[in-house]
């Protein structure tokens, strides 16, 4: 009698999943000196770079946003994906925010997953932007709240 009750108590815990999100440092993309940035040029360069790196890029309903994601781990009980987003940071043509996050979903509790995340593809993208003379990235260290 106790086994079915114990099973019914534990079953929801096993079937329910955990979602954990970790973010890399925020970067801003600025135009090179004596030039301006526009959505078409920046998003075209981003699409080319991230598609080549294995990301799935989908157009957003809002034409001012760019979003790509890539599966990093796909296990039966746990999936991890990296998400990269670019969107205007203030006035168009002045600066764009470059944000990357890691999404962990599955049965592994958040206490067992690192909260540190650095996406090397984003750092490589910043180098690519400068080589292609499209723009330059600046890192913004995030301040932790006590």
Residue 7 lies in a domain: no
145 falls within a domain: no
pLDDT at 38: 83
In a domain, 4, yes or no: no
pLDDT digits (tens, 9 = 90+) for 38-48: 888 999 999 99
pTM of the model: 0.75
**Quick check: is 5 in a domain?**
no
pLDDT tens, 94-119?
A: 799 999 988 877 766 666 667 777 88
Q: What is the mean pLDDT of the chain?
A: 80
Domain assignment of residue 37, yes or no: yes
Within a domain: residue 55? yes
Tens-digit pLDDT profile for residues 65-91: 899 999 887 777 778 889 999 998 876
11 lies in some domain: no
pLDDT of residue 6: 53
The parent domain of residue 124 ranges over 18-140
Q: Domain for residue 85, yes or no? A: yes
Residue 49 maps to which CATH number? 3.30.310
Number of domains observed in the structure of the chain:
1
Q: Token pair of 72, please?
A: 């990093």
């Amino acid at each position: 009698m106790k086994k079915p009750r114990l099973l019914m108590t534990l079953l929801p815990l096993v079937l329910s999943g955990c979602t954990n999100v970790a973010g890399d440092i925020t970067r801003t993309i600025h135009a090179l000196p004596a030039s301006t940035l526009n959505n078409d040029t920046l998003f075209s360069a981003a699409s080319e770079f991230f598609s080549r790196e294995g990301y799935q890029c989908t157009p957003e309903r809002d034409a001012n946003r760019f979003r790509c994601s890539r599966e990093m781990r796909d296990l039966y009980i746990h999936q991890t994906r990296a998400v990269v987003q670019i969107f205007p940071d203030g006035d168009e043509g002045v600066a764009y925010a470059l944000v990357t996050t890691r999404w962990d979903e599955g049965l592994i509790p958040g206490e067992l997953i690192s909260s540190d995340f650095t996406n090397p593809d984003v750092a490589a993208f910043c180098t690519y932007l400068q080589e292609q003379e499209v723009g330059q990235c600046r890192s913004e260290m995030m301040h932790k709240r006590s």
